[in-house]
Amino acid sequence: MTAYTPLNALPYPQSTDTANLPLHLQSLAEAIDSRTVLRYGTAALRDAAITTPAAGMVVWLTSPGQLTHYTGTVWAPVAPVPVFLYNNDAGTTTSTTATDALTDAAGDPLVASFVAPPTGRVIVTVGALMINSTATTCYMGATVKKVSDNSVFLASSIDRAAMLYHTNRASTSTQFLVSGLVAGTAYAASPTYWTAANTTAPNTVTYDNRFIRVDPVL
């Protein structure tokens, strides 16, 4: 009768077992297989191959280059790390509603892709060097979307925006907590830009040295 190791329950044959070396090696290989660091190209390929994951399984994903583990309920990053994006190409906007792309700026929109940690919470920070053409308030916020269907999880809002009311250039930033994310799910955060309406003169806002950072809350 096959016996098992005390720690990982790996099978090994007894002297009374049937003399079938290939079968015994197959049993051992299959038991070890799920305990190694598995490798898949994407989360979709992982989920298609591992239909009944066990808590503690570890998988490396080539895209986005991340080590994940199964918590017993979801796949989550083994060690979530901050995501930081920076763009030093200045651009402008006259929009009075939140937009994720500036005029005459390369590299927009900035998209900070991340996987929600087991807590379902991250801190989003945005900032830029900002200047108004008139004494009107301008804003920089962020929108968080679910990657799988591009649906908005948290819309950009004045309540969570960096603000400037001046015609002098100033560096401004803000950060806010995003909670209720589904652990192990891919999301994307993008900066947004807009200005308050000015009834006396056209208003153009310039943004430079822009950044967005997403920090997992563990």
Break the chain into its structural domains and give their ranges: 3-77, 83-216
How is domain 83-216 classified at the architecture level of CATH? Answer: Sandwich (2.60)
DSSP label at 103?
B
CA dist., res. 60 & res. 1, Å (int): 36
Q: What is the pLDDT along the chain (218 residues), one digit of tens a residue?
A: 577 777 566 677 777 777 877 777 777 777 676 678 889 999 899 999 999 998 888 999 998 788 888 888 888 888 778 999 999 999 999 999 999 999 999 999 999 998 888 889 999 999 999 999 998 999 999 999 999 899 999 999 999 999 999 889 999 999 999 999 998 888 999 999 999 988 777 889 999 999 999 999 98
Q: How many CA atoms lie within 13 A of 202 on its CB side?
A: 4
CA dist., res. 144 & res. 190, Å (int): 7
Q: Please give the full DSSP string across 51-72, using - where no structure is assigned.
A: SS--TT-EEEETTTTEEEEE-S
pLDDT for 81:
80
pLDDT for 23:
77
CB 137 within 8 A of CB 164: yes
Overall residue count recorded for the chain in this entry: 218
SS3 of 23, please?
Answer: helix
Radius of gyration for the alpha carbons in the chain, expressed in angstroms and rounded: 25
Element holding 33 (H helix, E strand): helix 21-33
The two tokens of residue 25 are 């090696």
pLDDT for 9:
66
Q: Please give the full DSSP string across 141-210, using - where no structure is assigned.
A: EEEEEETTTTEEEE---GGG-EEEESSS-EEEEEEEEE--PPTT-EEEEEEEEEE---SSS---EEEEEE
pLDDT for 200:
78
